[in-house]
A = this chain, B = another copy of it.
């Protein structure tokens, strides 16, 4: 069994945003040499997500507006978590809706995707560097 690990770094200038990271994960897969197996991609931070959906800018704005309705940033005092001195209580909720991780099948050395599947980093408390873990196991 082969095993591969890499950390990818992201630094978004705004609080919330989405970044297509598919090409970077594909590069990891090529480096791994794995032909058949599973590829785990997860946020290492708890106010960020990794998810699979469409690379369409309007949709990403829809996500941002919807998540802001489901878990508004303001008023920050409405979150007990923010009594710790943080202002990111909402980000911990948004991340649960969008998810922490994806597991992708590796078949014949490729990410085994449907026609529109793309991997995104979802940031809900940006303006600092954060990491995503790529772990690939297989043969």
Contact = CB atoms under 8 A, between A and B. Distances in A.
Contacts of A40: 38, 103, 105
Contact of A44 (B1, B59, B62, B117): B117
Categorize the interface residue count of chain A: 35 or more
B71 A66 contact: yes
Contact of A105 (B5, B37, B105): B5
Contacts of A63: 92-93, 96
Given A96-B97, A116-B46, A79 B52 contact: no
Given A5-B105, A51-B96, A103-B103, A137 B81 contact: no
A84 B56 contact: yes
Contacts of A1: 1, 36-37, 138-139
B135 A92 contact: no
B102 A101 contact: yes
Contacts of A38: 38, 40, 135, 137
Interface stretch (A8-16, A22-30, A106-114): A106-114
Interface of A: 1, 3, 5, 36-38, 40, 42-46, 51-54, 56-59, 61-63, 66, 70-71, 79-84, 89, 92-93, 95-105, 107, 112-117, 131, 133, 135, 137-139
